[in-house]
Amino acid sequence: MRRLATGAAALLTGSALSAALVAVPRAPATAAPDLAGLVRIADVRRHLEALQEISDYNGGNRAVSRPGYDVSVKYVVARLKKAGFTPRVQPFEYEYWEQRTPAVFAQTAPGQATYKPEEQFQTMQYSGAGDVTASAAAVDVPASGQAGTAGCEAADFQGFASGSVALIQRGGCSFEAKAANARAAGAGALVVFNLPAEQGLVNGTLGKAFPLPVVETPHALGAELTRAAQAGGLKLRVRTDTVTGTRTSSNVIAETGRGRDDNVVVVGAHLDSVPEGPGINDNGSGSAALLAVAEKISRLGAAGLRNKVRFAWWGAEEEGLLGSEYYVGKLSDNDRAKIALNLNFDMLGSVNGVRGVYDGDGSLGGGTAPPPGSGAIEKIFKDYYAGRGLPTLESEFTGRSDYGPFIQAGIPAGGLFSGAEVVKTAEQAALFGGEAGKPYDPCYHTACDTLANIDWKLLDAHVDGVAFATQRLAASTLPVNGETRRPASSAQLSGQSAGAGFDWRGDHLVR
């Protein structure tokens, strides 16, 4: 049309030409606004302050199936409605586990010692209840400094005396497998201790209710008890008081009106905290960032929302990714194939944190084999921060958070993570600031995870990344999936995730 207009104008002169040009203006091209520029840290802070207040007035936490979580769901729904969404609350049932009274772990012979809970030991999630005092036996002790595969095979328990307390080092298989083999060998209780290279407690889970008392210890104490058991005469007491049952929780789902519904970008964060605290970093930070982005995303218009964006606030992540597992498990093959990718944001403001990007290309090795397209998501985040002169650190892609069910279903995934209980190295401190030798988040899963437990500068940069990647992929998923996905059968989806060795359930190790 430009060529035709030029030809017509060539026949006009003087004022006639000017009049023609004014009468037939050419509409300027418009670009979508910058979502990262629209979303301010003040927006995120307002939501975090609300979550803190909800926790303060509801027992000090926002844990699943407790009042603080229910009010958090209502808050998110109300904000989404105000932003023009039609949110859906998706209920689901789950098996819960609770420790009713503090556990006891003690040495009764040859010496006597009572160990400190939450410091020298803790009950493993989904441990059964029991009170056992018996001789301790070390099972398949690995070579010094090695991980090994202790307790992973029934043969490891050859000669094990029924009724004994089994001492087993973590590694090689799931905790559930170790516990099942110990129980089959007649163990009265199980003590799992951490790997030589890992500090602190295991923070493990058996994955489901298990009829055996199980506690966990740091490596140093476990190794000390192992040596004592090998010398003979070691007796231990393990007492756990736990209960399981069924409860109901919910996810909150909301999606943009604009965009292709056969190439959906799912952006998620878990909304629940642990019972011990308000969970403002874990994971109020991700939930608030998501809500702030959702409130501004309509400003992208049709030009910026070529793919539908589906926001999700997951429930019961701290119980084992239960909300996201339910969501993915309830999708039909056809609906699952319409999901282009998943972005996950869990802990974005750790006070001693890093700018972590999930290792979608598998360059770190180990962990879960990322579905194709995950490496492209990693590159989108890394290129964005590189363009701003900000360093990033690859974060292990282990399935630890709510992206886990998506990658298990063969759906590409990625996201950001500022760090939890792992200790910061000197090299990381040089890159990101903070203190080497201290955890990324010193208030991880504790009562001090409050508004005071946020690095606002780091959170601000992470929120920019959330907004940028969401806008980039709402416009085009070409580098991730070639824009379109063909519906896949259940068998194909299962094959895509074959061999995916998950190490985590929620924030808890399973092996």
CATH code for the domain of 478: 3.40.630.10
- 377 located within any domain: yes
Task: Report pTM.
Answer: 0.77
223 with 318, same domain: the answer is no
Which listed residue (295, 317, 318, 378) is catalytic?
317
Is the predicted pLDDT of residue 5 greater than 50, yes or no? no
Q: Which of 233, 267, 299 is where one domain is finished?
A: 233
- 18 located within any domain: no
b/e 41-74 (16+ beta carbons within 10 angstroms → b): bebbbebbebbbebbeebebbbbbbbebbbbbbe
Helix (H, G, I), strand (E, B) or coil at 403: coil
- The count of structural domains within the chain is 2
347 with 263, same domain: the answer is yes
Task: Tell me the two tokens of residue 140.
Answer: 């398949």
Can 276 be counted among the known catalytic residues? Answer: no
- Report how far residue 167's alpha carbon sits from residue 182's, in angstroms, rounded to the nearest whole number: 10
The per-residue pLDDT for range 97-151, each reduced to its tens digit, is 989 999 999 999 999 999 999 999 999 999 999 999 999 999 999 998 888 899 9
Looking up residue 134, the CATH number of its domain turns out to be 3.50.30.30
Domain that holds residue 324: 35-95+246-509
224 with 353, same domain: the answer is no
169 with 145, same domain: the answer is yes
What is the model's pLDDT at position 337? 96
Please, where are the H alpha helices in 214-321?
219-231, 285-296, 301-304
324 with 462, same domain: the answer is yes
Q: For residue 260, which amino acid is it?
A: R
Chain-wide mean pLDDT for the chain?
A: 89
Q: pLDDT-based confidence at 24, cuts 50/70/90?
A: very low
- Report how far residue 105's alpha carbon sits from residue 300's, in angstroms, rounded to the nearest whole number: 57
282 with 412, same domain: the answer is yes
The per-residue pLDDT for range 421-460, each reduced to its tens digit, is 889 999 999 999 999 999 999 999 999 999 999 999 999 9
**270 to 32, 154, 183, 381, 506: CA distances (angstroms):** 29, 37, 34, 20, 10
Please, where are the H alpha helices in 171-260?
175-184, 219-231
- 241 located within any domain: no
The answer to whether the beta carbons of residues 314 and 324 sit under 8 Å apart is yes
Cα angle, residue 491 at apex, residues 490 and 497 outer, rounded to 5°: 90
Cα angle, residue 289 at apex, residues 285 and 295 outer, rounded to 5°: 145
228 with 254, same domain: the answer is no
- 504 located within any domain: yes
297 with 190, same domain: the answer is no
317 with 444, same domain: the answer is yes
296 with 440, same domain: the answer is yes
229 with 258, same domain: the answer is no
What is the model's pLDDT at position 473? 98
The per-residue pLDDT for range 480-500, each reduced to its tens digit, is 999 854 444 343 333 333 333
Is the predicted pLDDT of residue 314 greater than 80, yes or no? yes
- 100 located within any domain: no
Q: Which of 233, 262, 288 is where one domain is finished?
A: 233
Mean pLDDT of 301-315: 97
- 3 located within any domain: no
Is the predicted pLDDT of residue 73 greater than 70, yes or no? yes
225 with 273, same domain: the answer is no
The answer to whether the beta carbons of residues 52 and 451 sit under 8 Å apart is yes
What is the model's pLDDT at position 483? 81
- 20 located within any domain: no
- 4 located within any domain: no
Mean pLDDT of 224-252: 97
**Portion of the chain with pLDDT greater than 90, in percent:** 81
Task: Tell me the two tokens of residue 418.
Answer: 């500022």
Supply the DSSP symbol for 337: H
Helix (H, G, I), strand (E, B) or coil at 235: strand
Q: Which of 233, 254, 282 is where one domain is finished?
A: 233
